[in-house]
């Protein structure tokens, strides 16, 4: 083989690899955004209540069904659908907290966790009973334009998901860091009783936390509907667990950690799918979770816990 021919081949291979990497980075960003949006809800609720809200993944699923209803039955436009879905999901989240979690705030923590499991199963089975088990097609809310650039393929949907998620997360971060309510949320994660002594209305803060978390999960539900255009009543389980892993990876209770964890998990999963049989996908996610928990249980951004004698 002539020298320059060899180099040419090598060069060509490099750009192909480069293109593949950019393509995968886009896919990873899309998946990571979705995980991050859901992980935020887990993390924020854990921060204020020390409760793993096992129902959160199912709220994400319900969110996408609500959006389906608004978009198809009521025929609202894309922006209205998103806003109405967020509002409805926020209402649902606040309602769940009021009915199921608030009476248990002073009960043993295990009761609250069981209740959360119960709420999750309820949302699944209720949706199943109402809409049936078969997957449903999700409408294209926006005109879908496919962009091809030097072999890299992306779409308006994908770019919207990535950008809109980013905007939402920056907004949330600013809210938590800058506003009085955000400050109270962060204070709650240090000491619930102390903060209540300082005259903060805890119930209000908790409600706001749930509203924010569930509305973000609902947006993630819309995004999943757009990106993988079918939804079913069981989709909340696996995606929910994955998002939960993301929250733990980032350090549960930390808002920025949850975002970082979402992107990290998205990237790892895309890499795993590209290089391994697809049946290993879930296994790898959970293996990562185990590894993180055993090596650095407080996650990358969480604060370590110390024992006191």
Partner 1 sequence: MNLLLRGKLTAFLVVIGLAACIGLDQLVAFKSYYLDNLSGTFSPQALEILSKVIDPYYLQILIYVGINIILASSLNVVNGYMGEFSVGHAAFMAVGAYAGSLVTVGLFKGVGGTFAFPIALLAGGIAAGFFGLLVAIPSFKTRGDYLAIVTLALNMIVKSVIENIPGLGGPQGYSGMARSTNLAWTFFCVVATIWCIRNLIYSRYGRSIIAVREDEIAAELVGVNTRNAKILAFVISSFFAGIAGVLFAHLIQFINPRTFSVLKSTDVLVMLYLGGAGTMGGPVLGAIVYTIALELLRFLGIWRFVVTPLLLILLMILRPTGIVGGHEIGPLIPTREKEPCFPTND
Going from the C-alpha of 239 to that of each of 149, 191, 206, 242, the distances in angstroms are: 30, 30, 24, 5
Give the footprint of partner 1 on residues 282-301 (CB under 8 A). 282-283, 286-287, 289-290, 293-294, 297
Phi-psi region of 152 (alpha: psi -120 to 50; beta: other; left: phi over 0): beta
Q: Is the CB of 19 or the CB of 98 nearer to partner 1?
A: 98
The span of 118-126, 135-143, 159-167, 262-270 binding partner 1 (CB under 8 A) equals: 118-126
DSSP label at residue 278: G
CB of 45 to partner 1, least distance (A): 12
Binding test (CB under 8 A) with partner 1, winner from 108, 143, 199, 304: 108
Q: Is the CB of 275 or the CB of 279 nearer to partner 1?
A: 279
Give the footprint of partner 1 on residues 30-69 (CB under 8 A). 50, 52
Other C-beta atoms closer than 10 Å to the C-beta of 132 total: 11
Q: Is the CB of 21 or the CB of 283 nearer to partner 1?
A: 283
d(CA 47, CA 191): 10
Geometric angle at alpha carbon 94, from 93 and 95, rounded to 5°: 90
Token duo for residue 156: 């308006």
CB of 159 to partner 1, least distance (A): 32
**Closest listed residue to residue 44, CA positions, set 224, 208, 170:** 208
- Helix 3-49 / helix 156-178 crossing angle, nearest 10 deg: 40
280 lines the binding site for partner 1 (CB under 8 A)? yes
100 lines the binding site for partner 1 (CB under 8 A)? yes
User: Where does this chain bind partner 1 (CB under 8 A)?
Assistant: 50, 52, 100, 103-104, 107-108, 110-115, 117-122, 125-126, 128-129, 237, 241, 244-245, 248, 252, 277, 279-280, 282-283, 286-287, 289-290, 293-294, 297, 307, 309
């Amino acid at each position: 083989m002539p020298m320059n021919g060899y180099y040419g081949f090598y060069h060509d291979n490099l750009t192909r690899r480069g293109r593949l990497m950019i393509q995968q980075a886009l896919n990873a960003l899309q998946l990571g955004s979705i995980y991050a949006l859901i992980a935020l809800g887990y993390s924020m609720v854990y921060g204020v209540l020390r409760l793993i809200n096992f129902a959160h993944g199912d709220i994400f699923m319900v969110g996408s069904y609500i959006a389906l209803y608004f978009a198809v039955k009521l025929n609202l436009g894309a922006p209205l659908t998103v806003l109405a879905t967020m509002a409805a999901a926020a209402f649902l989240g606040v309602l769940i907290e009021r009915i199921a979690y608030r009476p248990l705030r002073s009960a043993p923590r295990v009761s609250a966790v069981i209740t959360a499991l119960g709420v999750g199963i309820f949302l699944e089975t209720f949706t199943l009973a109402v809409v049936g088990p078969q997957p449903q097609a999700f409408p294209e809310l926006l005109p879908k334009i496919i962009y091809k650039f030097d072999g890299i393929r992306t779409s308006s949907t994908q770019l919207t998901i990535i950008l809109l998620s980013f905007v939402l997360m920056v907004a949330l971060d600013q809210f938590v860091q800058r506003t009085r309510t955000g400050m109270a949320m962060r204070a709650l994660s240090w000491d619930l009783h102390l903060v209540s002594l300082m005259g903060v209305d805890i119930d209000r803060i908790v409600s706001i936390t749930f509203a924010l978390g569930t509305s973000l999960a609902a947006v993630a539900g819309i995004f999943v509907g757009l990106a993988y255009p079918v939804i079913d009543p069981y989709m909340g389980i696996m995606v929910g667990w994955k998002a939960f892993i993301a929250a733990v990876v980032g350090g549960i209770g930390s808002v920025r950690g949850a975002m970082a964890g979402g992107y990290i998990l998205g990237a790892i999963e895309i890499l795993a799918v590209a290089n391994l049989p697809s049946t290993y996908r879930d296994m790898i996610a959970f293996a990562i979770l185990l590894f993180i928990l055993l090596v650095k249980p407080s996650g990358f951004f969480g604060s370590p816990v110390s024992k006191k004698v």
